[in-house]
Amino acid sequence: MTYERSIVQEAVTGIHRMPQFLHVIIGPRQVGKTTAAIQVAAKLGWEKVIVAADESLPPGPEWVETHWQQARAKSAASTARVLLVLDEIQKVRGWSEVVKRLWDEERVRGGKIAVVLLGSSALQLHQGMTESLAGRYFLHRCMHWTWPECASAFGWDLDQWLVFGGYPGAAALAGDESLWRRYVTDSLIEAVLARDVMSGQRVSKPVLLRHLFALACAYPAQVLSYTKMLGQLVDAGNTTTLAGYLEALQTAFLLSGLQGWSGSVVRQRASSPKLVLWNNALIHAMSRRSAAEALADTTWRGRLVENAVGAHLLCHLPPMEYSVHHWKQGDAAMDYVVATADKVWGIEVKSGRGGRTAGLKPFQKKSPAAKILLVGGGGIPLEEFFRTPPEAWFTP
């Protein structure tokens, strides 16, 4: 596929303007990080070394040393700079320490190597970067595909994106839903659960984690108490285990359990989470509905829309500046709450559920300074909302 995402030009510009930094591209599996790196290399036109550590047995630090030396050899034979791309770097044992040493050596010797690190596990990458590479890297985010990208690349309308989500490799199979489901479940979901979640951190109950993910796909954009979740899961567990597994799934860009907004961190952590999948493809892959049935069921389509709104916010709002929550008090609810250090917005999504706005007045009473956004019928049209970078809605 020749489609070029915006991350490509962002990375090219960053490498030219900030040669003093390692450039780290982080994001979910199968959204085009490797393709983007290849396109970056083509735009730069330099000698390149592009390798991936995504192997069944994780390599050791000598893997980094070997390919770094390969880049140095190319650099010595050329007057131009050399691009070194290390894909799935978090899989390499002790990667951050060896990268730090080699990068510091490169800076001292005035080397001509530009280094790009790619990774699909936020937790493992951030641990290595904060522990060893502080001050040495610039972070780029390559997230799930937006509707405008899928419309441009595949000719999809909004309904197609709401059902099939934004995995480019699966797009060609959307005409045969059986094949599409097999690809997404086997090559995407299973690969992420087995390689990024379970192998990257301690998971004592893998069956419980898988069932939790399946439960979230059955209840997208819904608030479920931990007690209710435990009552529907087969394997035994407890609240702490479930909360930890939700965090693990979030680090792999699969699922978030949004905490309730109250203005109090303590109360937020104690609240029932709202389950939001980061890509609607995950929901449809685990569903027994056909695409036509999913769109014809107005309640289910409403859930797909509401989940897509939450995923759009999670994927594309800068996480250090914005936090995303939900709000519920008795029968009153606000679908999403976006907060910065000093401002709060309530977001009500109106699609497929009768245009209800019963939560507006109670939420405004609770948070009188909050601004309100209506998304869907009578508010911001869905096409316009998904076409616009979400940060634009939350400017002063």
Domain ranges of the chain: 6-141, 148-394
Residue 51 confidence (pLDDT): 96
What is the residue-wise DSSP string for 371-390?
A: EEEEEETTSB-HHHHHHS-G
Sign of CA dihedral 44, 50, 54, 60: negative
CA neighbours closer than 13 Å in the CB half-sphere of residue 149: 21
CA distances from 52 to 2, 187, 252, 370, 390 (A): 21, 17, 18, 46, 32
Whether the CB-CB separation of 359 and 350 falls below 8 Å is answered with: no
Residue 396 confidence (pLDDT): 67
CATH number of 6-141: 3.40.50.300
What mean pLDDT value characterizes the chain?
91
CA–CA separation, 311 vs 30, rounded Å? 17
Whether the CB-CB separation of 72 and 111 falls below 8 Å is answered with: yes
Taking the model in full, what pTM does it have?
A: 0.92
Residues with pLDDT less than 50, the chain: 266, 354
CA–CA separation, 20 vs 37, rounded Å? 19
Residue 233 confidence (pLDDT): 80
Mapped onto helix, strand or coil, the DSSP state of residue 166 is coil
